[in-house]
Amino acid sequence: MNVANIKILHIDSNHPLLWEQLKQEGFQNEADFTSSKQEVEAKIENYHGIVIRSRFKIDKTFLDKATNLQFIARVGAGLESIDCDYATAKGIHLIAAPEGNANAVGEHAIGILLSLFNNLNKANNEVKSGQWKREDNRGHELEGKTIGIIGYGNMGKSFAKKLRGFDVTVLCYDILPNLGDANATQVSLADLQERADVLSLHTPWTPETDKMINSDFINQFKKPFWFINTARGNSVVTADLVEALKSGKILGAGLDVLEYEKLSFETLFEGEKPAAFEYLLQAENVLLTPHIAGWTFESHQKLAQTIVDKICKIYQ
């Protein structure tokens, strides 16, 4: 199909290959990384495609003005910033690129897991501040442990694949049936909560997963467990997580995502911090990273390539 008339608006910067390859394929690219949502809304009828990361929400108001839009491409995995049902009802193609950062997320979750089990973060801070504490930093081994994965899509599968070789049992739970594979056995949520020594969250943020990790949910676990979140901060009630850390029900937490992140994060350091957040900052068994699990040099490129391939497929 001739794509020379297809105008694509890029509202976030991405790996240059995205722009270059779309241009080579014959698409018309335009960039606008600074205009406000309202300003983009005012001109969106002139475009057939929009490429976004997460600068603003693509809501009903926006979509009603996007009268010629044929696709929305999100250079990432999560689609929560888009009113997907409304866009789909309008016949707009939705494209995401979870294949592009799944490997990075899987590797990052392994990094968190090994760090939690061996106190790497705490020990590093201590040695650098002149403390040589071996007994305090005695670690745990993964061998023989049971790892529970909730959400067995691209990210969960990537993490499970990386766990091969650690001599662990890997269980997965997902609302979709028949997802188990050679790397993980699919079980009921109750079964996972009964057996897991580690919980790693890999679900999208949806009404069903919003605040899913709360006290009730945590208390269903039979054993104390370690918790890893590389998915979405809003799936966790932080105050409940902190209670579980204090009581020892959660042995340690590695959080790449926080309910406080993005626009509100910097402002958190200006005034008095929420008590739960302050606790996470001080706790020695809590490892925090700034939403970088999928943020590698390699995934930057793979995300772009995935989006190019999927856009081209629409116009084949």
Positions in the binding site for ligand 3PG (CB under 6 A): 53-54, 76-78, 101, 291, 294
| Residue showing tokens 């069903």 | 208
Give the three-class secondary structure for 254.
Answer: strand
List, in order, residues 6 or more apart from 205 with CB less than 8 Å away. 78, 80, 231, 232, 234, 235
Least separation, in Å, of the C-beta of 195 and ligand 3PG?
Answer: 28
Residues forming a β-bridge with 170:
147
Catalytic (active site) residue 93 = no
Residue closer to ligand 3PG (CB basis): 243 or 256: 256
Q: Residue with CB nearest ligand 3PG? A: 76
Least separation, in Å, of the C-beta of 167 and ligand 3PG?
Answer: 30
| Residue showing tokens 């270059």 | 20
Residue closer to ligand 3PG (CB basis): 89 or 292: 292
**C-alpha distances in Å from residue 248, one per residue of 13, 251, 285:** 43, 6, 11
Least separation, in Å, of the C-beta of 134 and ligand 3PG?
Answer: 37
Least separation, in Å, of the C-beta of 177 and ligand 3PG?
Answer: 25
Give the three-class secondary structure for 217.
Answer: helix
Q: C-alpha 89: how far from its chain's center?
A: 26
Least separation, in Å, of the C-beta of 73 and ligand 3PG?
Answer: 12
Residue closer to ligand 3PG (CB basis): 49 or 76: 76
Residue closer to ligand 3PG (CB basis): 84 or 283: 84
Q: What angle do CA 235, 238, 239 make, to 5 degrees?
A: 140
**C-alpha distances in Å from residue 104, one per residue of 98, 111, 160, 194, 247:** 10, 10, 13, 29, 32
Least separation, in Å, of the C-beta of 176 and ligand 3PG?
Answer: 19
C-alpha to C-alpha distance for 54 and 76, rounded to whole angstroms: 9
Residue 172 in contact with residue 154, Cβ under 8 Å? Answer: no
Catalytic (active site) residue 55 = no
Among residues 85, 35, 42, 84, the alpha carbon closest in space to that of 67 is found at 42
Residues forming a β-bridge with 51:
10, 73
Query: What phi and psi, each to the nearest 5 degrees, are found at residue 26?
Result: 110, 0
Catalytic residue, candidates 74, 232, 243, 300: 232
Residue closer to ligand 3PG (CB basis): 6 or 18: 18
Residue closer to ligand 3PG (CB basis): 247 or 264: 264
C-alpha to C-alpha distance for 286 and 282, rounded to whole angstroms: 8
Catalytic (active site) residue 15 = no
How many DSSP H helices and E strands does the chain contain?
A: 13, 12
Residues forming a β-bridge with 74:
52
Active site residues: 232, 272, 291
